């Protein structure tokens, strides 16, 4: 892409996201995603700084069940994972994955506090890119093992992944789930394609806007992986934002793989 002023440098989505969320780990930013009310009973044991620095657009924790092994993609401050820790109980486990070290520091400190308050420790926070769950560690094993998770959830993070890595992200979600594994993905979708000019805006990208999936394409991508009963369990009636006539709204996508076990809903 070029202009009268010379070549235009393509946006580095990863750097834009890292910079904005690193700052948001230090100080609350009201403009990131859209506020969501969570059941206050789960928030009592979670440090206030974690709750204040949580940036999401839905509540995917509502689809967690007792005893689940849960994978939280883009775990951020840790609020969603620490809610899940309480729901799954001592027999369950929660794994958060995030690439931002400031957010990881916040979530790891909070995990120790919550473990002391609830009487057990079942949460770990791993450093890594959510699209690269198959990346080998020092021991040669993938960051998240095949068929090791009952539920993959995420809260307003999938849209932050570079479009070139979307298929790898989707394939990894499918890979790590056990038979009858489920997804609960809260994210921002749009009603038509986002123009390249908006995709090149670092504020719009890191603000969960210009990387949004088209609404029907989001459903179709999960159906193509073999998920059944794929639907929007939650969908905001009014757009969250309208940019250049494009409507962006919050949704929570749910679905389940074939196999014996609980349903997605």
pLDDT per residue as tens digits for the range 60-82: 999 999 999 999 999 999 999 99
SS3 228: strand
Residues lower than pLDDT 70 in the chain? 1-35, 197, 201-208, 260-265
- The pLDDT value recorded for residue 17 is 42
CA end-to-end distance (rounded Å), the chain = 45
What does the pLDDT read at residue 231?
98
Which pLDDT does position 196 carry in this prediction?
Answer: 74
Tens digits of residue pLDDT in 115-151:
999 999 999 999 999 999 999 988 999 999 999 999 9
The pLDDT score that the predictor gives to residue 208 is 66
Taking the CB of residue 145, how many other CB atoms lie within 10 A of it? Answer: 12
Cα–Cα separations (whole angstroms), residue 20 to 24, 78, 162, 190, 250: 6, 17, 15, 22, 20
Residue 23 confidence (pLDDT): 40
Say whether pTM exceeds 0.75: yes
Task: Tell me what pLDDT residue 264 has.
Answer: 53
């Amino acid at each position: 892409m070029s202009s009268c002023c010379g070549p235009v440098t393509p946006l580095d989505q990863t750097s834009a996201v890292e910079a904005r969320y690193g700052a948001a780990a230090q100080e609350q930013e009201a403009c990131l995603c859209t506020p969501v009310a969570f059941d206050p009973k789960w928030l009592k044991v979670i440090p206030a700084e974690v709750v204040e620095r949580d940036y999401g657009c839905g509540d995917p924790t509502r689809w967690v069940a007792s005893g689940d092994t849960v994978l939280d993609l883009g775990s951020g401050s840790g609020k969603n994972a620490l809610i899940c820790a309480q729901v799954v109980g001592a027999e369950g486990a929660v794994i958060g994955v995030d690439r931002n070290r400031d957010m990881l520091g916040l979530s790891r400190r909070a995990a120790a506090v919550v473990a002391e308050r609830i009487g057990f420790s079942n949460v770990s926070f791993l450093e890594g890119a959510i699209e690269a769950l198959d990346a080998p560690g020092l021991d040669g094993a993938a960051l998240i093992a095949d068929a090791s998770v009952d539920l993959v959830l995420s809260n307003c993070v999938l849209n932050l992944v570079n479009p070139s890595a979307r298929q790898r992200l989707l394939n990894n979600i499918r890979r790590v789930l056990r038979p009858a594994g489920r997804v609960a993905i809260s994210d921002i979708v749009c009603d038509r394609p986002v123009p390249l000019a908006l995709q090149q805006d670092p504020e719009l990208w890191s603000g969960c806007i210009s990387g949004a999936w088209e609404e029907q394409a989001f459903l179709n991508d999960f159906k193509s992986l073999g998920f059944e009963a794929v639907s929007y369990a939650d969908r905001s009636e009014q757009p969250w934002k309208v940019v250049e006539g494009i409507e962006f709204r919050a949704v929570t996508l749910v679905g389940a793989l074939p196999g014996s076990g609980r349903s997605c809903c």
